[in-house]
């Protein structure tokens, strides 16, 4: 335990977010963008150029499965978590917690050094 934190988390934290949003319910790309935006108070935007390659990676890794829906005029590709994806999500979530705790501990220490900023606006 207390292994070294995989830096994969730093770069690929978008993966974690996408997996967690998909865990709530299956979604197609465009809907995923909206959902992530909504769930983050419009703070996190997932651009198409980031999302589609990401989804393809997740699928290739077997973490999500996709299915086309042509029943409506709009061609939609629905993605949903696989069992493997859920496992991965749980694991990544734990790693994230570890990582966040580390950073928070560091930031807590610097507050002792750096005077609190005048919190205006």
Partner DNA sequence: ACCCGATACATTGGCATGCGATGCATTGGA
Partner DNA sequence: TCCAATGCATCGCATGCCAATGTATCGGGT
DSSP H helices, the chain, are: 8-11, 13-24, 29-39, 48-60, 83-110
For DNA, the binding residues in 67-106 under the rule CB under 7 A are 73-77
With contacts defined by CB under 8 A, name the span among 26-34, 53-61, 64-72, 112-120 that binds a second copy: 112-120
Q: Contact, 31 vs 38, CB < 8 A?
A: no
Contact letters for a second copy, residues 35-74 (x by CB under 8 A): ----xxxxxxx-----------------------------
User: Does position 50 bind DNA by CB under 7 A?
Assistant: yes
The interface partner of residue 75, options being DNA, a second copy, none and the CB cut-off 5 to 8 Å by kind, is: DNA
Q: Contact, 66 vs 79, CB < 8 A?
A: yes
């Amino acid at each position: 335990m207390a292994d070294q934190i995989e830096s994969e988390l730093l770069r690929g934290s978008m993966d974690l977010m996408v997996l967690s949003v998909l865990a709530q319910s299956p979604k197609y790309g465009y809907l995923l963008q909206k959902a992530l935006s909504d769930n983050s108070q419009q703070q996190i935007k997932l651009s198409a150029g980031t999302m589609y390659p990401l989804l393809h990676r997740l699928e290739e890794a077997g973490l999500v499965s996709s299915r086309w829906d042509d029943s409506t005029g709009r061609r939609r590709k629905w993605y949903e978590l696989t069992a493997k994806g859920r496992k991965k999500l749980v694991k990544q979530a734990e790693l994230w917690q570890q990582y966040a705790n580390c950073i928070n501990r560091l930031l807590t220490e610097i507050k002792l050094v750096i005077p609190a900023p005048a919190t205006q606006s």
